[in-house]
Structure 1
Amino acid sequence: MTDTTTSRPMLWAGWGLTGLFTAFMIMDIGMKLLRLPIVEQTGAQMGLPKGSGFWIGVMELAILALYLLPRTAVLGAVLIAALMGGTAAIHWMHADPWPSHILFGVYLALIAWGGLWLRDGRLRALMPWRAP
């Protein structure tokens, strides 16, 4: 049987990473839902349809809610990884810089998954850092 308990330091570290990820996403979602001009300008540069930023923000909000609810956190993390993979692909298509643009979504997905992995013993049992 695998131990699925979570120590207090792991739990705090996990919620710290989750909080960091959530804060960034709230800022990003807020900019999109408020329809800030920079969102429309950046979307146009990326070839996205006019007005799509708002609906991307709605989708991100739904995914973030799934991630933050304990029952659906793993589904939310899977969808976050998919979303961030899509952002990496769009930046790659536009030949944006690797560390600051293409890999930024990968960094965010790793932070989200890392936070969940640290705070959920069942996930650590399913995806161990190393074999027992």
Structure 2
Amino acid sequence: MTDGALPPPARDARRWIGWTLTGAFTLFMVPDVAIKLIRLPVVEETGSQIGLPPGSGFGIGVLEAILLALYLIPRTAVLGAVLFTALFGGTLAIHWTQGNPLFSHMLFGVYLALFAWGGLWLRDPKLREIFPLRR
């Protein structure tokens, strides 16, 4: 179904839901990036528990800040979402190797990716053309 086939209220609702998902994703990522960039001790403690080398939290925070900027700039939003999805896949793999719980740890990045992609898909008609829902 194209955007032209939807009545204006439905198009507006889809756009608002898309921006809400994007906002929720961003509201989670900003503090996550911040605690890594200011080097809170909890980042180092958590990283060591899952086998990350000391000091790696800062570099991960820099990477996440760059990806978040890419995601929030409309021209590079899809690239940001793709790269975030790759990062979240890496976090899933690390949690898998550590034997962490499935729904709370391993799949958390998948949940974040669904928010990121869902928000982008709902607010970007070109993305919906590439990945349409079929009946």
For Structure 1 versus Structure 2, the TM-score category normalised by the shorter chain is over 0.9
Distance in 2 between residues matched to 1:4 and 1:77, nearest whole Å: 22
Match for 1:71 among 53, 75, 85?
Answer: 75
Distance in 1 between residues matched to 2:31 and 2:24, nearest whole Å: 11
Contact 2:100–2:106 (Cα < 8 Å) also in 1 = yes
> What is residue 40 of structure 1 aligned with on the other side?
44
Q: Identity rate of aligned residues, in percent?
A: 62
Structure 1: which 5+ residue stretches go unaligned? none
Deviation sequence 1:39-98 (CA, Å, 0-9, x none):
000111111111110010000000010000000000001001101111111000000000
Distance 1:92 1:101, change over 3 A: same
Q: CA RMSD in A?
A: 1.4
Contact 1:4–1:125 (Cα < 8 Å) also in 2 = no
> What is residue 117 of structure 1 aligned with on the other side?
121
TM-score by length of 1: 0.94
CA drift of 1:4 comes to 5.1
Alignment of 1:1-132 (within 5 A): 3=2, 7-130=11-134
Q: Partner letter of residue 112 of structure 1?
A: A
CA drift of 1:102 comes to 0.3
Distance in 2 between residues matched to 1:129 and 1:98, nearest whole Å: 28
TM-score by length of 2: 0.92
Distance in 1 between residues matched to 2:60 and 2:70, nearest whole Å: 15
Following TM superposition, the consecutive aligned residue runs of length 4 or more in structure 1 with deviations greater than 6 angstroms are: none
Structure possessing the higher relative contact order (Cα contacts under 8 Å, 6 or more residues apart): 1
> Per the alignment, in what secondary structure is the counterpart of residue 7 of structure 1?
helix
Distance in 2 between residues matched to 1:12 and 1:97, nearest whole Å: 33
> Per the alignment, in what secondary structure is the counterpart of residue 99 of structure 2?
coil
Give the total of aligned pairs: 130
